[in-house]
Every structure is written in C-alpha cells, then in structure tokens.
Structure 1
Amino acid sequence: MTRKIGSRYTAHQILGRGSAGTVWLGEGPEGPVAIKLLREDLASDQELVGRFVQERTALLSLDHARVVGVHDLVVDGNDLALVMDLVRGTDLRTRLDRERRMAPEAAVAIVADVADGLAAAHAAGIVHRDVKPENVLLDMQGPLGPGGAHPALLTDFGVAKLIDSPRRTRATKIIGTPDYLAPEIIEGLPPRAAVDIYALATVLYELLAGFTPFGGGHPGAVLRRHVTETVVPLPGIPEELWQLLVQCLAKAPASRLRASELAARLRELLPLVAGMPPLDVDEPDTEPSQAEEAYEDSAPEPREPSPRRGAVPLVPGSAPADSNRDTHTSMRVPGPDELAGGARGTARAPRAAGAARPGSAKHRASARRRRITLGVAGVVLAAAAGVGVYAASSSDAPPSAPDTSSPVSP
C-alpha cells in the first residue's frame, strides 16, 4: 500500500477519494502530511501540469489558520500531487450525513471560520470556486468553539480553477457542484469572489435546514432555480440571520457581502442563536415536478457506461465530463431559453399540510380526477340539454301528413 511520492514523501494509506484524485496519509521530512494525488489522466495533461506549476507560488503563499495549507507540489513522472497540512478530523459532509442538520450556533460558528479563510484567499486574489461541505474539514483536535463547534478549515483551494482549463471545458462548460453554483456562473460569467459567498451561504442554509435551498430533482432544474427562483424562508431563526442569508444568496453578485464582512456579521449574531436547538423544518419533496419530468424526457437516451464515470449532464445533449456529485461537476452553460423553462417564484414553496406539491404526481392525479369529473358533468349537462331541446322541438312541430305514397313493388 505504501508508495513514494517524489523523493521526499511517502504515502501510507488512503484517507479519501474525490473526482480530482485520492488523498493519502503521508510522511515528509517535517512529519505527517496529507498528499492529494491527482488522477493519472490529469497528471498526463501537460497543459494542466503547466498550470499547476504556474499557480504553485499562489498556492504555497496562502497561509491562514482557516485554510488547509499547501506545503509542496510534486511533479514526478505520472504523479502530480499536492502536499498539504494533515487535519485530524472529518469533513463537514460526513457530519451532516450523521446529524442531518446542526444547531444554529454551531452552524454559524463553522461558517464564520470558513468566511475567514475565504477573506484571506480573496485578499490574495484567489477564488475557491467549489465551496461545499466536502471541502470543509473539522479539526477534531482543536479547541471547541461556540455551540461545541470544532475549528473549520477550507481545503482544495485552486483545484477547481486549475482543472477548469479552456481545453478541458471549452467556453461552453462550467465547473462546480450544482447545489452550490452561483447564478452568474450558470449564465456564463467569469467567477469572482462573490461566487464563493453565494456557495458559503448555501452551505449555511444546508447546515440549518438539512437541505440546500435550490437542490433536489433533476440537475437541470437545480440550475434553473438558482437563476429564476427566490429562497424559501426558514422558520425559527432570528430575522437578522435570515436577512444575512438572503443578502448573500442574492442573484446580483454586487449585492452580496464580502467574506470579511460575512465573518464579522456572523460572529455578531452568535449571541442571538446561542442555545437554540436544530430547526424542525420539513424537507422538500424529492418527487420531480411535471416541468422536471418533461426536461428529463427531452434528454437523449443514456449511452453505454464508459470505464470512468463522469458528471451528470445538466442539459440535453451535454456529454458526461470528469466528476460526480461529491466533487466537481462539468456542465454545459444552458441558453436563456433553457433557463427560462423553470417556473418563476419561490423555490419549493411551503404548502398546507397534506396538500400536494404543484406539478407532483399526486397533484397531477388530483387535477386529472377534477378534469374527469368536470368532463362527466359536462357530458351529463350536454345530454340533458339535448333531451330538453329534442322534447321542446318535438312538442312545437306541426302534425305530420299521412303517408299516401304507394309501396314500391319488387
């Protein structure tokens, strides 16, 4: 299982896997490290290797307590690896999978830590582009913060940008994870610092609610919601925290806070959420709506699986690329007509208990029953009207003359 990485590092065991590569527990001259060994197809891409070398200085210079630091870049034969700080703990996705949702105080403290890391990166001119729970590590050996939260560190800085080379994705592709993509990325604009704020606000919403504000259903529908729909309110949180979420989930990038402002505002709100239990909110239906089913029906027939599985195609005709939901997903930028396909309004709006979600199978069945009932009623009324007309016309007609014609002989 042990393997050498360059001349200075040894990888001992696998800690995790992602679309970009495999993370190993390793050893270097200064002690234990984490080694992110990129996939062989990425390591063999000379253009990509060149981009990593060009970005090496920026990656190594990003030194902050809330960022998983990069110590070295190894290019050795078919090996392309990032040597990083070893964080003794777990990632935020694992904790979410276990707890489903978090108490607001712990959620706010964790997101404030991540915002601090983003502020340092943005000040250095680096945009993360793939902020999500999988890329937030919790240091289980660090001191506990508000709400019993472990210190949070953001990892994988620069990886999305480096992999998203023009040759790999062309001008019609975007890289990111659908649930956390800012609207401007979906519309094809270049990613700026504001895309990280939008993604981090989505993470905070998910920590509080147990689900992302625009996720669920077909990935194409997720993209449409980001662009066309407003976020569903979360009952039970202070109004100040909700307004902060709304501002950072604004469709217009300029309306969002900067990372340093977000971190400061979140820490100001910690006393308001101290001691609050996790929210008791209903998770949205996962059943696809009629629009989503129509969208899926219009997609091409699935192809034969390839040896290396790729991303979920987000629009009809797009080919799978180089990832999955857990990490980067490569997508074709949908056109205005495709984005306009979703209903405008509030994403997955609350409804009365027991009521069917508009567009769901239950809702359509109910509508079908109403149409049948109305149709039958219409037929009955039409028949009754016909009988009445016939009766009236029969009573008003003059008596018919006797038949005086002679029978026709054979």
Structure 2
Amino acid sequence: MARNIGSRYTAHQILGRGSAGTVWLGEGPEGPVAIKLLREDLASDQELVGRFVQERTALLGLDHPHVVAVRDLVVDGNDLALVMTLVRGTDLRTRLDRERRLAPEAAVAIIADVADGLAAAHKAQIVHRDVKPENILLDMEGPLGPGGAHPALLTDFGVAKLIDTPRRTKATKIIGTPDYLAPEIVEGLPPRAAVDIYALATVLYELLAGFTPFGGGHPGAVLRRHVTETVVPLPGIPEELWQLLVQCLAKAPASRLRASELAVRLRDLLPLLAGIPPLEVDEPGPEESEQAPAYDEQQYTPAADEPRRRGAVPLVPGSAPDSNRDTHTSMRVPAPDELAGGPLGTARAPRAPGKPRPGSARNKAAAVRKRRITLGAAAVLLCAAVAVGGWLAAGGGDGDGAPQDSENSAPATP
C-alpha cells in the first residue's frame, strides 16, 4: 500500500528491513528513489531529529560516483527519512552469498571503487562507521570493470552517526556490526576515518576467503579477536596484496592507509591479479559452527563459535530483506582486563581444502584419534614383548640364558 513521505515523495513497495528502519521503493518529483524510513521510536527522539537536521548539509553535499547520493532528508510528523538515489542492481552481500567468494581481480576492483567513495567522504569530514557488504551496492546497469565487476557504490552514510546519540547509547556501548569493527572502537575510542579502512579491508578479506578474518561465534568473542588476535595469510594471493591487507588491518589506526592511497594501491595491483581464480580455502565446518546461546549485552563471556550472522539492508529492487544480522548492534565495551586475555594469537586460520583448520574441533578430534592410534600401537607392541618374554621364560632358553641344545646345534665343548 502506497504512503506519502512528506509532501514530495510516495513510498510504494518495501525493498528491505533493518534494525534502523525500512527501505522503500519510492517516487519523487524527479523519478524513482529509494527511501529509508527510520523507526518510529527514532523519529520521536527530538535529540536525534536535531542531529538529523544538522547533518543535512553534509550528507546532501556528498556527491561522488561511488557513493549512493542522499537527495533529501524528510522530517514530517512521525516520519524521519533519507531519500536516496535508486541503484538498479544488488548488494554485495547477495552476490557473496550466491558465489561464496570472488576472484581476486573482481574483489579488488569492487573495493577500489568503495575506497574512492570513502576518500570523498573523509575529505568532507564524514566517517561512515558501518562499512560492510550489505551497504555496498553493485550497479548492474553500469559498465563492467576489471574481472567483470560492476561499479560499486557505498550507501547508508550518516545512519550510524544519527543513531549513536548520547541518550541512546551510553559511554559503554558500541554501535556497529561486530565482524567489521576496528579495534579502537571495541576499546571505546571515538571513530575516525581509519575505522572505515579497517572495515573495508575486512570486507576485502571476506570477498577473497568467503568469511571474515575475526568473525564467527559469540559477538563478545568476535570483539575480543579484533583486539587480541592477528590475521593469518590467505593461500594463493600475491604477496603484494597480502601486505596491503595486513597494513589496513593493523591494530594501530595510524598504521593504516588513507582511503585515497588504498584506492590507488589496489588499482595498481589489478594487472597482477588478472586470471587468478577464486581461492580454494575451506570455510569453517559444522564443528566450528555450533549454535551459541543468545548474547547478553550485560556480560562479556566469549563462547563457542556460532554461525556467522548475515543479513542485508538493500536499497535496490529484488534484493533479499534483512535477516538476522542487525545493521547496528548495541554491545558493551569489554573491560581492559577482558580484552587483555591470553597471549596474542591467530584468528580462525584458513585451511587447505579437505584439511582441518588448526585449533578447530575437527583438528582437535583428529589429534585425539592420532593419540589413540599411537597408544593402541604401543599397547600391541607391549603385549608382544610380554608374550616373547613369557615364551623365553617357559622353555625358550636354559636357566642361565645359554641357548638350548637341539639336533641341529653344535655340541658344546667340554
């Protein structure tokens, strides 16, 4: 059923739902648009509405080919909405769910586009704060790029900042999606441009590997990995690309590249990646994906791994609605002693096809089987030794150990 959004726009069809609100296919004075209608409780928050109006100029001024343009911001009664350009295509999460992982050339081309968009935003002093595949749209009507990649555009600018008001999130809360949160956010520091670089590098890793470097399991465990664990190399990619990933996933924000530098470096690598097929890296097996208990934000207790939570908040027709991963998840900031944990380790190491990942349940089970086989073999050898000893004692030799005479033995000398 159609509904009016302000005096200029009409929303016709729901495209997707997220924790922040609902995305509609709409119509405006200049044609089709995407309308993100925020939740009613957000619209009734006068402090948030004030911030919404303050951000209007900055968001409307962000104009770049790789950014989904915000055309208008509507404040009308209980309606609080962002009106954006409608992209004819799909979101990156949908493509990733369909293909599992992308060829390195296509993955790098997509991330280079997004890095260009982030560079424009950072120049305008705008930090996205929620870079992830759900917020990257692929324009299916645009020209194909390297590796057959469609042009990529980053969307949902400003939403995380709007929701992150002092009244809504206490000083001990985190706004963001766990898999893509930079370590400094987990530690309670204010978000700077470097958090977007970390998140974008995480997305690139996911496009190459099929899973995020620190994701999987209880949200508290994911947060801890971002701070305490190091990422391991992906087999099959050039060393230059791996070093670029490592630099952008650095724990220290100052060690990461700026968005403009990242875009240039990635495009310089494209000729080196031409023709390389998608990586052969096994995703976590069922034994690493046991269902974990519901997350209690009042406690920070890392638990066993659970399936990675995935969803989508598309701004394009035909995309799947948001499923079970919130666009913005409120989480408690772990205390310093909780983050300290044990020694620095390696997170969810990739494995070669058919082989268990080090530290996984299957790897541990294999180790147990190996120990059992070793102990069994040792027991067999021990039993054999005891049997031989018994035979010798029973008649296989004389009392003082000399060989027993037989018809074929030589006579003993007197």
Question: TM tier, shorter chain?
Answer: 0.7 to 0.9
The answer to whether 1:348 aligns with 2:348 is: yes
1:10–1:28 Cα contact (<8 Å) kept: yes
Q: Indicate the percent of aligned positions where both proteins have the same amino acid.
A: 84
Q: How does 1:116-265 map to 2 (within 5 A)?
A: 116-265=116-265
* TM-fit CA distance, 1:365: 9.3
Q: Residue 151 and residue 97 in structure 1: after superposition, are their counterparts in 2 closer, same or farther (change >3 A)?
A: same
Measure, in 2, the Cα distance between the counterparts of 1:206 and 1:350.
Answer: 12
Change (3 A) 1:351 1:3: closer
TM-superposed CA distance for 1:232, in Å, is 1.6
Structure 1 length normalisation: TM-score? Answer: 0.81
**d(CA) in 2 for partners of 1:356, 1:35:** 43
Call closer, same or farther: CA 1:324–1:253 in 2, change over 3 Å: farther
**Rounded Cα–Cα distance in structure 2 between residues aligned with 1:240 and 1:361:** 32
What SS class does the counterpart of residue 168 from structure 1 fall into?
A: coil
C-alpha distance in structure 1 between counterparts of 2:240 and 2:231, whole Å: 16
Amino acid at match of 1:358: G
User: What are the Cα deviations for residues 46-73 of structure 1, in whole angstroms up to 9, with x where unaligned?
Assistant: 1111110111111111111111111111
In the other structure, the counterpart of 2:92 is: 92
Cα distance in 1 for residues equivalent to 2:329 and 2:250: 23
Q: Secondary structure at the match of 1:11?
A: strand
User: How far apart, in 1, do the equivalents of 2:370 and 2:144 lie?
Assistant: 57
Contact map agreement 1:60 1:69 (CA 8 A) in 2: yes
- Change in 2 beyond 3 A, CA 1:142/1:359: closer
Partner of 1:284: 284
> CA–CA distance in 2 between the matches of 1:366 and 1:103?
34
Q: Distance in 2 between matches of 1:45 and 1:88?
A: 33
The RMSD of aligned alpha carbons is: 2.8
Cα gap change, 1:277/1:26 in structure 2, threshold over 3 Å: closer, same or farther?
Answer: same
Equivalents in 2 of 1:361, 1:104: separation in Å?
29
Quick one: distance in 2 between partners of 1:355 and 1:154? Answer: 36
Q: How does 1:325-336 map to 2 (within 5 A)?
A: 325-336=325-336
Q: TM-score, normalised by structure 2?
A: 0.80
Instruction: Report the CA distance shift for 1:63/1:33 in structure 2 as closer, same or farther (over 3 A).
Output: same
Secondary structure of the 2:16 match is strand
Aligned residues: 357
Contact 1:220–1:315 (8 Å) recurs in 2: no
Residues 234 and 354 (structure 1), Cα distance of their counterparts in 2 relative to 1, 3 Å cut: closer
Deviations 1:77-114 (A, max 9, x none): 11101111111111000000111101111110100000
- By how many angstroms is 1:287 displaced? 3.8
**Closer, same or farther: CA 104–364 of 1 in aligned 2, 3 Å:** closer
**Partners in 2 of 1:101 and 1:183 — Cα distance?**
25
Please give the alpha-carbon distance, in whole angstroms, between the structure 1 residues aligned to 2:288 and 2:327.
Answer: 23
Question: 1:47 is aligned with what amino acid?
Answer: E
In structure 2, the partner of 1:389 is none
SS in 2 for 1:169: coil
Q: CA deviation at 1:367?
A: 5.3
**Taking CA–CA contacts closer than 8 Å with sequence separation of 6 or more, which of the two structures ends up with the larger relative contact order?**
2
Gaps of 5+ in 1: 303-311, 381-410
Which residue identity does 1:203 align to in structure 2?
V
Aligned partner (choices 254, 274, 299) of residue 316 of structure 1: 299
User: Letter of the aligned partner of 2:325 in structure 1?
Assistant: R
Alignment-mate amino acid for residue 177 of structure 2:
T
Question: Are 1:53 and 2:36 matched, yes or no?
Answer: no
Do residues 62 (structure 1) and 62 (structure 2) align?
A: yes
Distance 1:350 1:130 in 2: 25
- What's the offset of the Cα at 1:265? 0.4
Kindly provide the amino acid, as one letter, of the partner of residue 14 in structure 1: I
What's 1:404 paired with? Answer: none
Q: Is the 8 A contact 2:103 2:208 kept in 1?
A: yes
1:34 matched residue in structure 2: 34
Deviation sequence 1:352-395 (CA, Å, 0-9, x none): 86557436377279659969x99xx9xx9xxxxxxxxxxxxxxx
> Could you tell me which amino acid in structure 1 is paired with residue 131 of structure 2?
V
String of CA shifts for 1:262-285, please: whole Å, max 9, x gaps: 000000000000121111111134
Name the SS of the counterpart of 2:167 in structure 1: helix
